[in-house]
Amino acid sequence: MSIPLLSTLIFFPILGGLSLLFIARDQTATLRMMALIITLIELLLVLPLFLLFDKTTPVMQFQEHHSWISALNINYSLGIDGISILFVFLTALIMVLSILVSWESISTKVKEFFIAMLILEGAMMGVFLATDFFLFYIFWEAMLIPMFLIIGVWGGPKRIYATVKFFLFTLLGSLLLLVGIILLYINGGQTFDIIKLAGQSYPLKLQLILFWAFFAAFAVKVPMWPVHTWLPDAHTEAPAAGSVILAGVLIKMGAYGFLRFSLPILPDATREMLLPMLILSVIAIVYGAIICLAQTDLKRLIAYSSVSHMGFVTLGLFALNQRGLEGSILQMINHGIITGALFLAIGMIYERTHTREIASYGGLASTMPVFAGFFLLFTLAAVGLPGTNGFIGEFLILLGGFERLPWTAVFAATGLILGAWYMLWLYQRLFFNEVKEEMRGLPELNLREIITLAPMVLLIFWIGLYPNALLSYLHVSVVHLLEQVHGGGVEGSIQSLSLALSP
């Protein structure tokens, strides 16, 4: 590969963001347009990856390798496999949406906002593309700076509390990860190369220590119960674009960390710690769903539903079989799309009513029928209606969980029922009942908003009806990952389950 596609993905948005520095502060229309064009080009740049990607091999592709800090054997090395390619796509997509959603909602310090967003995009790309543990950590931490500012400067009334809490939670977790990385470096032959690190075996005791050090960072980011408390605050107070990025990409990074580091590098510890992880996942599913029922704030409800949905993701992950893992990765993409869409929709309605109180809404279906239609689709996808993408992911996860420990699937299924309850109840409270006085005469969605939401609907049905489009990228990489975890013999049959699912 002669063209450094992956480096371009990282540095193009960063340089693009810096180019906004030269635009006058009051030219907000130009600034917005530039940010949109940059994210669209970035999305286009992902396309060649998909077209040129070789689905038959689990090795890293499009590799780039440069020596960086020779004193510490740190390299600038990038690459993607079947797992990260989906996240790269998700990131590029979510960024376009979040630029669109901040079109009118961001009115102060517009320039700084878009610069922060674009730098954030570059850092997020770096997280998914790095194949050097140290490089990964650089991007992982660097992401905190723009996110801290996005929540803290453009957020809601309690933004400062929320952003400081977010920063401190993630920083503390990440620093323990850093200690883990150093420990791994010293015991793993003085290298940060992920492939090399995964190819060695470590004593169980060391693996367990490392597992918990990694857990500190990844579990906070996911967020797993009981370290999830930053998420509702950050989600609620962040500007619409921030919430979309948080739900769409940021919290996926925790699960990606488990996939990329904990599972392949620490297979024995992962198998050893299976039960606690599954229990935490099930608690997150049921607890998150029950808390949702008690929420009176729109965004907070969606935030807690993320806790519940990410519980599904970690459940599938730690089921450690093919169905569970593929379901889990697919569900992350799905959740990114669905929750992203929900936050987009909530952002649009919030711009009209300026309230997030569920109680002050009612009867929107008669004032904004098009919006009601979109929201219904997103709600059904979140609930996991067959035919939407939410169903495929959750179904695979439940199968995987059942194969591993049947009772986890039983509890997780309860979460599904609770999920249907709170989402449909939310829909009822927002869109039906009698029309509230303040809800009369709200303008219907404009063209820009419809154009923003329409691709989400397409994606929901496309993945829902033809999941193989994404799953086919995963198979080989997931099988390879499972071989690493189980040391050769893969449990369960490796037949393409998606064939049976797609109509």
Interface positions with other proteins (CB under 8 A): 68-72, 112, 137-139, 141-142, 144-145, 148-149, 152-153, 159-160, 163-164, 167-168, 171-172, 175-176, 178-179, 182-183, 185-186
Question: Quick one: tokens of 19?
Answer: 């180019």
Q: How far is the CB of 189 from other proteins (least distance, A)?
A: 13
Cα separation, 160 vs 72, in Å, equals 37
Q: How far is the CB of 49 from other proteins (least distance, A)?
A: 24
Q: How far is the CB of 294 from other proteins (least distance, A)?
A: 30
Residue 414, CB-side half-sphere exposure with 13 Å CA sphere: 13
142 vs 279, which CB is nearer to other proteins? 142
CB neighbour list of residue 373: distance below 8 Å, 6 or more residues apart: none
154 vs 411, which CB is nearer to other proteins? 154
Long-range contacts of 179-185, Cβ-Cβ distance < 8 Å, separation of 24 or more = 179/213, 180/209, 180/210, 180/213, 180/214, 181/133, 181/134, 181/137, 183/209, 183/210, 183/213, 184/133, 184/210, 184/265, 185/133
**């919430």: which residue's tokens?**
243
209 vs 368, which CB is nearer to other proteins? 209
**């029309």: which residue's tokens?**
435
202 vs 371, which CB is nearer to other proteins? 202
237 vs 268, which CB is nearer to other proteins? 237
3 vs 71, which CB is nearer to other proteins? 71
Q: How far is the CB of 134 from other proteins (least distance, A)?
A: 8
Specify whether the CB–CB gap between 495 and 475 falls below 8 A: no
194 vs 497, which CB is nearer to other proteins? 194
Long-range contacts of 468-472, Cβ-Cβ distance < 8 Å, separation of 24 or more = 468/496, 468/498, 468/499, 468/502, 470/86, 470/330, 470/333, 471/326, 471/330, 471/496, 471/498, 472/55, 472/498
Q: How far is the CB of 142 from other proteins (least distance, A)?
A: 5
Q: How far is the CB of 176 from other proteins (least distance, A)?
A: 7
Q: How far is the CB of 109 from other proteins (least distance, A)?
A: 8
Q: How far is the CB of 164 from other proteins (least distance, A)?
A: 6
27 vs 353, which CB is nearer to other proteins? 27
Return the exposure string of 243-269: e unless at least 16 CB atoms fall within 10 Å of the residue's CB, then b: bbbbbbbbbbbbbbbbbbbbbbbbbbb
